[in-house]
Amino acid sequence: MPTTTDLRALGRALGARWSKATTTSDCQVDNLSAGWDQLGDHEEEHFLNPAEDEAYSSAERIAFLVLGDEPDRTAARDFWDAAAPEVDGPTLDDPDFLWGWIEGALDVPPAD
């Protein structure tokens, strides 16, 4: 089983790769940045560790931020299939992986 450090590093690498591959005409990185900035520290923690009775998983909620759409599970699944095809369901919903993914995606400077 991967360690917390391994999952965070994997998330960072895949988030950075996704961000670099996102075109400048695509507002997805901006959507993620703006949505994440609106959350406070407590809300970020809850966002990545939702209660058992939450309607959507953490990965789905991040996809909704990125896509800027109303919640749509099919669109969220399609997003993650493209953004992190190497990652399966349990890893995809791991808070350490998702923290790393967000860090990696937002640490990449925008393309010129």
Residue 87's pLDDT is 92
Q: By the 8 A CB rule, do 92 and 5 touch? A: no
Secondary-structure breakdown of the chain: helix, strand, coil percentages, each rounded to the nearest 5: 65, 0, 35
What is the DSSP annotation of 70-84? S--HHHHHHHHHHH-
Domains in the chain: boundaries: 4-107
Q: Please, what is the Cα angle at 11 between 6 and 82, to 5 degrees?
A: 135
pTM of the model: 0.85
Model confidence at 112, pLDDT cuts 50, 70, 90, reads: low
Q: Quick: pLDDT tens for 40-99.
A: 777 887 778 877 778 899 999 999 999 987 889 999 999 999 999 999 888 999 999 999
* Cα 75 to Cα 69: distance, rounded to the nearest angstrom: 9
Tell me phi and psi for residue 21, to 5 degrees: -80, -15
